[in-house]
Amino acid sequence: MTDREALAAAVALRRAIHQHPELGHLEFETTVRVARALKQGGVPFRRHKPTGLVARLNRGRGPCVALRADMDALPLQETSALPYASLRPGVMHACGHDAHTAMLAVAAIQLKERGLNHPGTVKFLFQPNEEGSGGARQLLAQGAFQSPTVDAVFGLHVNPRLPAGTLGIKTGPLMAAVDRFTLTVRGEGGHGAYPHEGRDAVVMAAQIVSSLQSIVSRRVDPVEPAVLTVGTIQGGERFNILASSVTLTGTVRTLSEKWHRRMPQLIAEVANGVARAHGGRVQLRYEALNNPVVNEPAMTALARSVAVDVVGARRVLDLDRPSMGGEDFSEYLSRAPGCFVYLGTGAGPRTRRPWHHASFVLHEPSMGVGIRFFVAMADRALADLTLGRR
């Protein structure tokens, strides 16, 4: 399979997946499409419950390298008007996971066709449920990093903010830890005409939302990146009834472990203080979804060298700051050294729309760079790890 044929195959697979998007842990049809492509390409694989898949290629004893792609879509109504737009109302691929999956599948087939250049094993991780978090943990719990043990792991993500066909790389922290919180504010209901006889949970919730913003502006060290966002507010029964309960949900993003640990305590202090002042109370449920994505220096240097070989030094971008977005690729990096890379896909106004946009449009020619990077990364990592073991 030539590079041109590989790109054509990846585009066809990506468009089929794009037209039939599936949410996290529901990627049944997507997994079938990937399995069919791998089977036709002669790449052995194993299914993981409910929707994961791990393929592998082996050339005798040696190190083990893992490459990862995510498969899930988002609960979003597509408005791109593309001829291959989503056929499922309220679900679309607006983050490029369809492209990640297609690129990795075709890279596996290319490697199978020509054979591995060095002894060892390459695992191809097709992961469900990245958006909701939990997909990486699911694959790991089912032995994706075992038999043989993974020595290094690599992945990439399309990035419309970077020029098409470039590769963006950064050593150390690349993406933030992602947490989710639910705050239930409880007051006492009553008639809207007699607010002094109740404890209005709506008023409490409104002041809690405003007060929570002071955590980042007044409690967190100004040089420490941190984000606290309240995303939903739900409560109340009727326009003239005091709400007895309001539920807030939100997300916290941090880069340092210190503030990652402290944020639940700070949120609880602020919310409880406001609620008590109004005669109410709150209940906090706090979930740490994933840790920061931190690229290991040696593996990042290796990935950068591969990127230079693939696209040339001018098209390798050394990123100077991390993103406050999150990725459960961090789960893999907690078990093996590795590097997560950005694939630039910005090639004009349409393809520069941000992730999670209802009119997200991918620059498909950039997928050829992603395929070549995956293939070269597998070969170079096997070679490098083999030399390192001697």
Spans of the chain, pLDDT less than 50: 390
Q: Are residues 16 and 116 in the same domain?
A: yes
Sheet with 281-290, strands from edge to edge, namely 226-235, 245-254, 177-186, 281-290
Query: Is the domain of 296 the same as that of 286?
Result: no
Specify the pLDDT at position 133: 74
Does residue 57 sit in the same domain as residue 116?
Answer: yes
The pLDDT assigned to 132 comes to: 83
Task: Tell which of 235, 257, 290 closes a domain.
Answer: 290
CB 211 within 8 A of CB 270: yes
Q: Are residues 73 and 161 both part of a single domain?
A: yes
HEC profile of the chain: CCHHHHHHHHHHHHHHHHHCCCCCCCCHHHHHHHHHHHHHCCCCEEEECCCEEEEEEEECCCCEEEEEEECCCECCCCCCCCCCCCCCCCCECCCCHHHHHHHHHHHHHHHHHHCCCCCEEEEEEEECCCCCCCHHHHHHHCCCCCCCCCCEEEEEEEEEEEECCCEEECCEEEECEEEEEEEEEECECEECCCHHHCECHHHHHHHHHHHHHHHHHHHCCCCCCEEEEEEEEEECCCCCEECCEEEEEEEEEECCHHHHHHHHHHHHHHHHHHHHHCCCEEEEEEEEEECCEEECHHHHHHHHHHHHHHHCHHHEEECCCCECCCCCCHHHHCCCCEEEEEEEEECCCHHHCCCCCCCCCCCHHHHHHHHHHHHHHHHHHHHHHHHHHC
Q: Look up the domain containing 323 and give its range.
A: 3-173+292-389
- Confidence (pLDDT) at 389: 54
Task: Write down which residue in 290, 317, 336 finishes a domain.
Answer: 290
Distance CA(100)–CA(114), nearest Å, equals 21
- 36 with 168, same domain: the answer is yes
Structural domain total, the chain: 2
**364 and 268 within one domain:** no
Residue 122 and residue 142 in one domain: yes
State the CATH number of the domain containing residue 248: 3.30.70.360
Tokens linked to 308: 């230079």
How far is CA 51 from each of CA 26, 57, 125, 167, rounded to the nearest angstrom?
A: 7, 20, 12, 29
- Looking at residue 357, which CATH number applies to its domain? 3.40.630.10
Residues 31 and 134 in one domain: yes
* Predicted confidence (pLDDT) per residue in 55-110, tens digit: 999 999 999 999 999 999 999 999 999 999 999 999 999 999 999 999 999 999 99
pLDDT given for residue 292 in this prediction: 95
Whole-angstrom Cα distance, residue 171 to residue 325?
16
Tell me the C-alpha distance between 301 and 362, whole Å: 28
At residue 13's C-alpha, the angle toward residues 8 and 19, to 5°, is 125
- Residue 228: left if φ>0, alpha if ψ -120 to 50, beta else—which one? beta
237 & 296 share domain: no
Asked if 260 contacts 224 with a C-beta cutoff of 8 angstroms, the reply is no
Give the separation between CA 129 and CA 127, rounded to whole angstroms: 7
What confidence tens digit (pLDDT) does each residue in 107-128 have? 999 999 999 999 999 999 999 9
DSSP β-bridge partners for residue 92: 74
Domain boundary among 269, 290, 311: 290
Contacts with 159 (C-beta within 8 Å, 6 or more apart), sequence order: 168, 342, 343, 344, 345, 346
Q: How many CB atoms lie within 10 A of CB 5?
A: 11
Q: What values do phi and psi take at 295, rounded to 5?
A: -75, 130
Q: Are 10 and 158 found together in one domain?
A: yes
Q: In sequence order, what are the residues at sequence separation of 6 or more whose Cβ sits closer than 8 angstroms to the Cβ of residue 114?
A: none
Q: What is the pLDDT of residue 390?
A: 40
Whether residues 168 and 302 share a domain: the answer is yes
Strands 120-127 and 152-163: unpaired
Q: 194 with 143, same domain?
A: no
